[in-house]
Amino acid sequence: MKVAHYTKTPAETVEHGATGVTIREVITPADGAPRFSMRVFEVAPGGSTPRHGHAWEHEVYVAAGRGVVWSAESADHPISEGDTIFVPGGEEHQFRNDSDELFRFVCLIPNPS
């Protein structure tokens, strides 16, 4: 078992088209998690992830703040603390912080087989 505050994992700056985004990979295969990894993203005011897509799904929980999730399939959706988002594999998407406060979300993804 692993029990740790998310801030004990160092934040890394997300590159490759992101602006004002950090990631903490808080649970990974290195922790003994064979199927899923958990990541905590923080998006600064005005920041965003790049528009991107990939084969795997995302399960997302908004832990703090508010923002917008964009999808090529369904355009912009305002999201805020307590919301959950499912992004199917293959769907282009983006998370943006359109507020003046920090936007934090938890993202679960499957580990490679």
Q: Tell me: the pLDDT tens digits for 49-61?
A: 999 999 999 999 9
- Per-position DSSP letters for the chain, written without gaps between them: -----GGGSPPEE--TT-EEEEEEEEE-GGGT-SSEEEEEEEEEEEEEPPPB--SS-EEEEEEESEEEEEETTTEEEEEETT-EEEE-TT--EEEE--SSS-EEEEEEEEPP-
Q: Tell me: the pLDDT tens digits for 27-77?
A: 999 999 999 999 999 999 999 999 999 999 999 999 999 999 999 888 899
Task: Give the residue extent of every domain in the chain.
Answer: 6-110
Query: Is domain 6-110 given the CATH code 3.30.420.40 in the classification?
Result: no
| pTM, rounded to two decimals | 0.94
